Amino acid sequence: MPSRAVLEGVLSLQACEELLLLARSLAVVGYREGVCSATIFEVAAALPSALIPLVAAREAVRAAVEEALGLELGLMVEFTGLICWRPGSRIGWHHDANRPYLRQRTHSAVCYLQRAGSDFGGGTFQFQLGSCGAEGPQDVLAAPGRVVAYDAQEEHGVTPVEWGERCALTLWFTDVLEHCEDSRLLAVLAGAPQHLLGLPSSMWLLEDGTDLQLCRLAMTGFALVHSGTLLHNAEAVPDGQEQQHLSSQGQASSELLPPGELAAAAAAEAHSQVAHQAALDGLLPRWLQLGALFAAD
């Protein structure tokens, strides 16, 4: 059985575009220098409805890879991520199980969402040796829906991205049940709503306690009032209480104030507009849907 495969048209162009939009909306810096990513857990936390296309794509890639590598029903997904490589990013020769904590990885698959040469330059995937040990690297150019799959121990790299953005759906597979991401994902999905819907606090809470979510909401012309009190902090909403109110503060200010001041300005305005509360009740039935506003940044 082959230990690597390049597969065409595993995802439709439409599916690639949908995932690209998701990646652009949710990816955060971190994975490697110049690389932004959104893991399936971040998608579950920030935009649970987007799990539907993401999981469908993941399963399509998994099925295609299992078939190509003769591993039917043999691959469990250890990691799913939308990964965008920006200019300057690269990765030298390595294999994907090269750390003690990555030993459970058996296979890898990368499904490209964009086309080399038109969406970005550089960023070529290379196996260190051509197929069957042939001399010299073997290149795989990115194209929407194209998947490169390989044994996690195969040496490979990515040449520097020169321009544009190179986004991919990256999967790592395992044969160790405890490392399958699904049980953790189900635990997240079955958990309390704040775990399901909230963004990691590092993304919205400044050291001085300023809640950027509320600041962003204020910039759209709204402030949140709970039981008659203007909220400065998302954590102030008691769990399970959904009778929160949304108060209009009229037109959004075009002046961009520092977050703390903006929240304070929103507070003053909102208190004078409590009459609007009833009309606006239910506009954000669960105020943690604020995540959608946050993602639009």
Ligand X SMILES: O=C(O)CCC(=O)C(=O)O
* Interface contacts to Fe ion, rule CB under 5 A: 96
Q: Does 219 bind ligand X (CB under 6 A)?
A: no
Distance, first Cα to last Cα, the chain:
46
User: In angstroms, what is the minimal distance from the CB of 124 to ligand X?
Assistant: 8
**Distance, CA of 35 to CA of 76 (rounded, Å):** 25
Judged by CB under 6 A, does residue 211 bind ligand X?
A: no
CA distance readout (Å), 187 to 39, 57, 76, 190, 248: 15, 21, 17, 5, 36
Question: Is residue 36 involved in binding ligand X (CB under 6 A)?
Answer: no
For Fe ion, give the closer residue by CB, 42 or 96: 96
In whole angstroms, the minimum distance from the beta carbon of 199 to ligand X comes to: 24
Rounded to an integer, what distance in angstroms lies between the CA atom of residue 152 and that of residue 258? 47
Sign of the C-alpha dihedral computed for residues 41, 44, 50 and 51 taken in this order? positive
Of 4, 86, 107, 156, the residue at the interface with ligand X (CB under 6 A) is: 156
Of the two residues 37 and 247, which places its CB atom closer to ligand X in the complex?
Answer: 37
Rounded CA-CA distance 210/263 in Å is 8
Radius of gyration of the chain (CA): 23
Shortest gap between Cβ of 289 and ligand X (angstroms)?
A: 32
Residue 158: contacted member of ligand X, Fe ion, none (CB under 5 to 8 Å, by partner type): ligand X
Looking at beta carbons only, is 169 or 246 nearer to ligand X? Answer: 169
Q: Which does 28 bind (CB under 5 to 8 A by kind): ligand X, Fe ion, none?
A: none
Which candidate, 290, 57, 6, 51, places its Cα nearest to that of 171? 57
158 binds ligand X (CB under 6 A): yes
- For β-strands 138-140 and 35-39, DSSP reports them as unpaired
Residues 52-91 that bind ligand X (CB under 6 A): 91
Instruction: Kindly tell me which of 63 and 102 has the beta carbon lying closer to ligand X.
Output: 102
Q: Which C-beta is closer to ligand X: that of 110 or that of 212?
A: 110
**According to the binding rule CB under 6 A, does residue 23 interact with ligand X?**
no
Q: Shortest distance, CB of residue 91 to ligand X, whole angstroms?
A: 5
Angstrom distances, CA of residue 238 to CA of 127, 207, 230, 244, 270: 53, 22, 14, 10, 20
Q: Which of 20, 110, 113, 217 binds ligand X (CB under 6 A)?
A: 110
Does 125 bind ligand X (CB under 6 A)? Our answer is yes
Cross-strand partners of 173: 77, 107
Cα separation, 76 vs 284, whole angstroms:
37
Q: Is 196 a residue that touches ligand X (CB under 6 A)?
A: no
Measured in whole angstroms, the distance separating CA 177 from the mean position of its chain's CA atoms is: 24
- Picked from Fe ion, ligand X, none, the partner binding residue 168 (CB below 5 to 8 A depending on kind) is ligand X
Site residues (vs ligand X, CB under 6 A): 91, 96, 110, 125, 156, 158, 168, 170
